[in-house]
């Protein structure tokens, strides 16, 4: 089950369609959907988690806590909508496009993709682009 939770006034448009899309991406990687929780928050909320759990005193757009067991994909994905908005401006894309990229980025981490090395980052971007094509077609 995919749930969307809000720690700010933000509200995701098209929750049902986004949920179906995320489910299809999980299935496309031969995995099953478990409990996947999206928590939309602000920079301060996510910074606190970043410091407390990852010992990183920096702003970030997303933190994924992967609770997957084998091919059963579960986890908590925290997204700062403030950071997404700023990144959308920096990357010259719409807020919606950047939000969708970040949302699927978290799922791809749970599926098993990493982004520590340049090669991993390139593969992550390819996977994000493929998933975004599915959503937007």
Nearest alpha carbon to residue 60 among 50, 52, 68, 70: 50
Say whether 90 counts as a known binding-site residue: no
pLDDT of residue 15: 96
- Residues 15-25: what's their mean pLDDT? 96
Q: Which structural domain range is residue 44 located in?
A: 2-135
What is the residue-averaged pLDDT of the chain?
A: 95
Report the sign of the C-alpha dihedral through residues 75, 35, 101, 110, in that order.
positive
Report the sign of the C-alpha dihedral through residues 39, 77, 51, 69, in that order.
positive
CA angle centred on 1, ends 10 and 80, rounded to 5°: 30
Q: How many domains does the chain divide into?
A: 1
CATH code for the domain of 38: 3.40.390.30
* Residue 53: band (very low, low, confident or very high) from pLDDT cuts 50, 70, 90: confident
- Residues 67-75: what's their mean pLDDT? 97
Report CA dihedral (131, 111, 23, 6) to the nearest 10 degrees.
-90
Neighbour tally for 101: CB within 10 Å: 21
* Residue 34: band (very low, low, confident or very high) from pLDDT cuts 50, 70, 90: very high
Q: What is the pTM of this model?
A: 0.94
Strands (E) located in the chain: 2-6, 32-41, 62-66, 72-80
pLDDT digits (tens, 9 = 90+) for 90-114: 999 999 999 999 999 999 999 999 9
Say whether 56 counts as a known binding-site residue: no
pLDDT of residue 40: 98
- Residues 58-65: what's their mean pLDDT? 93
Say whether 109 counts as a known binding-site residue: yes
pLDDT of residue 54: 79
């Amino acid at each position: 089950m995919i749930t969307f939770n809000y720690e700010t006034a933000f509200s995701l448009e098209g929750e049902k369609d986004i949920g179906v899309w995320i489910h299809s991406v999980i299935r496309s990687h031969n995995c099953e959907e478990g409990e996947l929780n999206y928590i939309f928050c602000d920079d301060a909320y996510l910074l606190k988690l970043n410091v407390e759990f990852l010992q990183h005193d920096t702003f970030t757009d997303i933190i994924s806590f992967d609770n997957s067991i084998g091919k059963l994909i579960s986890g908590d994905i925290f997204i700062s909508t403030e950071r997404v908005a700023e990144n959308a401006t920096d990357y010259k894309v719409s807020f919606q496009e950047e939000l969708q990229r970040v949302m699927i980025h978290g799922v791809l981490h749970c599926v098993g993709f990493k982004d520590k090395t340049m090669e991993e980052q390139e593969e992550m971007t390819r996977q994000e682009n493929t998933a975004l094509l599915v959503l937007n077609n």
